[in-house]
Amino acid sequence: MQKLIVVVVLNCLLLSFPNVFAQKNQAVVQVDFNKTVGEMTPIWAWFGYDEPNYTYMKDGKKLLTEIAALSPVPVYVRTHNLMTSGDGTSSLKWGSTNMYTEDANGKPVYNWAIVDSIFDSYVSRKMKPLAQIGFMPEALSTNPQPYKHDWKPGDKFEKLLTGWTYPPKDYNKWNELVFQWVTHCVERYGKAEVESWYWELWNEPDGVYWKGTRQEFFKLYDYTADAVKRALPKAKIGGSNVTGGGMKFLDAFLKHCVSDTNYVTGKIGSPLDVILFHAKGSPKVIDGKVVMNVKAQLKNIVDNFAVIAKYPELKNVPVILGESDPEGCAACSMLTNPENAYRNGTMFSSYTAASFARVYQLADRHQKDLIGAVSWSFEFENQPWFAGFRDLATNGVDKPVLNVFRMFGKMSGKRVAVNSNRMYPLDSILTSSIRNKSDIGSLAAIDKNTASVMVWNYHDVDQPGAQESVAVQLKGLPVGKKIFVSQ
């Protein structure tokens, strides 16, 4: 007799499996495994960070191994500064590979050693790059000096605006650099492997990361896409990873890709295999308490989905949330930004569970092929313990939020219908976030031999609440099979 395994994964609550009717006023989660609502797409299996050189450092390698182990599918990893000039020394919001320099005669010199060590770290763990093509090498920048910034927590983001943010002085040299990089990756990792990656240009070109004009960015995209496709015709490239509020820029970018003249070919349109944008929450300190705002993050998604919907030609192009987080700065500490004090405890984990469930709902509602939501949280080397950065581990010790991704790793197959007398409807969150009673909700899935239920107890205000007992009622489990329940 075949055995069905039911896995119940929990986030910050007490759980019971009553054989009797739920008690009055008890939170009741009802799961109907007979009613599927969509794919349990592993959109959570995507991570990213600013500092690429952490990848191959001691704690970075440890965390990558853990992330790869918790996921039943290959994890995609996105990082900034893969083309930035420098000696490979990291600091907050900085890193470098020095892949491009020029000799005394202005001839390109390519050096893949550091970027190879980064991608090797991924591929050796069966992870895959969401390879960010950026930022501008010093030898190509139209305004190279000063080049390396010295930003630190508490500084304004404008301090980041150094030579790496500028357009290239020679678009043909940029094109050849990208072509050589992709060609090298194909030679090193194999054509089939690199065809499974995603490539994207830059980061938040509507914000401080890009010191050029819109048209200069669109020109850069055309030259970049041309280079990628010349090196590997079936490579997947997209953009434009705007900020959560960057709808006007995204609109102009999509219009360029659909109907504008390509700067390289002179024809109409540019390759666009994936569309990316960011979605961020907005916590604040109110009356001495951190108050999260999941509404803000979800509204970013709604607003950018609306922009994409303007272009019927793009209906079937997959979408990635290039960064999907409770707020906008992983390297900002809670010491300089007290609204980030949620990061070390269970608030971060319960927010992650509750928000991802609603991201699935939004993708269903807007009929978008959402394939990934990049959690911009990794780890920070050589920093104090629990310094309040947005990270998954501190000095090699896992934080509670990493367990949510371990829970997601146990969920596969089809998402199924759930109902809870304490779960906020999606429209209610989009109107006023989660500010009255806590949100006791669930995400559930069923696969061939496994059923899974994730339950959370979340509230926007980061303070201890009443301990809750929750009844979980499971409907539609097959008759005639042995069922093993794990919690």
Residue 3 β-bridge partners: 482
User: What is the enclosing helix (H) or strand (E) of 123?
Assistant: helix 113-123
Strands 414-420, 439-446: pairing is: antiparallel
Residue from 148, 190, 142 nearest 168 by CA: 142
Ordered DSSP codes for 224-282: HHHHHHHH-TT-EEEEEEE-TT-HHHHHHHHHHHHHSBPTTT-SB----SEEEEEEE--
DSSP single-letter state for residue 414: E
Full-model pTM: 0.95
Instruction: Give all domains of the chain, ordered by start, each with its CATH number.
Output: 1-40+412-487 (no CATH), 42-410 (3.20.20.80)
**Residue 135, φ and ψ in degrees, nearest 5:** -105, -165
pLDDT of residue 239: 95
Query: Tell me: the pLDDT tens digits for 227-251?
Result: 999 999 999 999 999 999 999 999 9
Distance spanning both ends of the chain, measured CA to CA: 23
**Residues 383 and 334 sit within 8 Å (Cβ to Cβ):** no
What angle do the packed helices 346-365 and 294-309 form, to 10 degrees? 30
Q: For the chain, 487 residues long, give each residue's pLDDT as a single digit of tens.
A: 345 666 666 554 434 344 444 566 799 999 999 999 999 999 999 999 999 999 999 999 999 999 999 999 999 999 999 999 999 999 999 999 999 999 999 999 999 999 999 999 999 999 999 999 999 999 999 999 999 999 999 999 889 999 999 999 999 999 999 999 999 999 999 999 999 999 999 999 999 999 999 999 999 999 999 999 999 999 999 999 999 999 999 999 999 999 999 999 999 999 999 999 999 999 999 999 999 999 999 999 999 999 999 999 999 999 999 999 999 999 999 999 999 999 999 999 999 999 999 999 999 999 999 999 999 999 999 999 999 999 999 999 999 999 999 999 999 999 999 999 999 999 999 999 999 999 999 999 999 989 999 999 999 999 988 888 999 999 998 888 888 888 8
Residue from 343, 356, 358 nearest 290 by CA: 343
Strands 439-446, 393-394: pairing is: unpaired
Q: What is the rounded CA–CA span in Å between residue 47 and residue 415?
A: 22
**Residue 114, φ and ψ in degrees, nearest 5:** -75, -45
pLDDT of residue 191: 98
pLDDT above 70: percentage of residues in the chain: 95
Q: What is the rounded CA–CA span in Å between residue 255 and residue 232?
A: 25
Q: Which residue type occupies 368?
A: K
- Joined together, the tokens standing for residue 50 give 């600013």
